[in-house]
Structure 1
Amino acid sequence: MTAASDTLATAGRIERLRQYMGAQVLGSSGECVCRKLGSCRRSVLFDRHGAPRPEVSFAAGQLSHVGRHYDLTLDGVPCRILVIAMDTARLREHVKLEQRHAEVMQSAELPFTGRNAHMQGTTSALRLAVGHEPGDDREGEQLRLSEARQPVHLFDAYAMANLRLCSAMADGESSLSKATMSRNCLPHLAATIKILEPTLCIVQGVQVNKVITELISRRRQVAPHLTQARVAGVDTLVATFTNPSARGSYRWGPLNGGPYLYETVAAALRVAHQLVAGAPAPAGNANVHPQRRPAALDRQPPR
């Protein structure tokens, strides 16, 4: 397999995303300028009777990660991978694109077992998406690009966007899932997808998948947990899973976490890799488990 990337194209996408976010979410002065900010804050900091909720904290403006080699090609075929999760589950204000990229690349420096469950699962998903198998070896996390002297880590060859660009937490531990926040942020996710034009979206979380269906104008299932769809006007593959840090049998971050990684995630992403490469989908995916579970079990800890 020959891998290459168009860093100029990626730089252009990052600049367009920076311009959009600067005008609509996080201004150049570092202040959140989203016109829905007040609505989101009220939805979590006050109960339905208007009484304050002192146990809840709110942090605004946490932007996306875009790897410098996002415009990846495998054997000449575009392979732009976007991972979509709920939120960062961290209370930090005003995280710009550059900061987010630096944080994710710091995670890339850690050994697989040094990452939290969410980033472990993301690692496995990216490995599968480019034709590698899950594992904790360093070599499987690297891409040898035709124009680069040094191997490129997979974390610098994908993008990660959160449905919600603000975080709300109760007692500093559990992330709050509020429909108001998700609904208000959905246009920002749509704009991100239009700018990044992913060929594969990996959706982490049942609730996330439920919300982004509003952006889908058509879909056709090609394998369990995998559809061809038009999302925010972009034709792409959409793979839908639980969050890697979900509880019980739906947890798939650690390699020994259970069968969900190998029987569900791996099976779907192997098909996705073949479809991105232009090959027909293989038969024999009947053993993939359907995603029927309470959305409340999805949980994304700090990275």
Structure 2
Amino acid sequence: MNRFWKGIILPLFNTIKPEVIVEVGSFKGENTKNILSSYCSIYDAKLISIDPNPHKDFDLEYFNNEFGDNFKFFNSMSLDVLPNLIDYNAILIDGDHNWYTVFNELKTIEKNFNQDSFPFIILHDVSWPYARRDLYYDPDVIPMEFRHPYMKLAMFPGVEKLGKIGLNENLNNAIHENTPKNGVLTAIEDFIEDTSLDLAFYSINVFYGLGIICQNTEKNRRMILELFYESDMAGVLENIYLKDRFNKENVIKNNKSKIKSLNNSYDNLNNDFSILLDINKDLKSQLNDLEKNIDNLENNRDELENKVSELNSSLNSQNSLVKNLNKRIAEKDKDLAGLNDV
């Protein structure tokens, strides 16, 4: 909703001069700061913010210190707080984007106001993806009979089925869309049809959609249509588109340069790889030669071991002959000694 601040919401506030504003869904506090610094501080108006689980960047201490009595925060569910709020002129609803929550927020507002005092209601996410599909930040707080089957998968424009590519893949999105009591816009339409008050609904289909519910008067109709026209959302979208396009073109240009450099590196690596293949081929050839030499050496070793074995056997035979000769010599020497005695 922060994107609509300068073009639609602030001009609307400057026109209707709300003394008390309610904000349902603070998130990081960007729009909270806009309302307090650019409107409440100037007109001494009050802002009541409601969020059961604000983003970690939501600086409550800063808002309390900076804006004092002009700011009040409820760390609670909107359906628990809204029944007790009966005196405000405008309310921004950007909380839990499902039929049950939005429909009952609107019915609670209806109970506390009559036709003449009915506040301006500004709602976000009245277009794709949550116009006809529920989102559950905390599924357990939604009664079973109003809770559609859901999964943590992404949504893609023009595709009903959830998938892996698209928006908000980490959130609890209803599996089906365009079914009864499903989605923010469906809740608004059901409320307008159900209420006994004479109310009108206007919407603009950009940045996930902004809608305004107010008393059905010609004055309000002219004012809101002029705001939508003068906000030049088409120009804002064109500016965003061009920035995105130029950034993408620059990224593509840089990536092309990187791709060219990578291709050159790839070619160099291919050349180096070819050289390594040749070296590997030579090494394999040398290895084969070495293996043959090893085989030959092993064969030579076996032959040498056989020869050594034969020589050892011959040496043992010769040693035996020498031993016998020495024995015979000893016997002859004994015989000779006997003859000498004779």
How high is the TM-score relative to the length of structure 2? 0.24
TM-score w.r.t. structure 1 length? Answer: 0.27
Higher RCO (CA 8 Å, separation ≥ 6 residues): 1
Higher-Rg member (1/2): 2
- Structure holding more strand per residue: 1
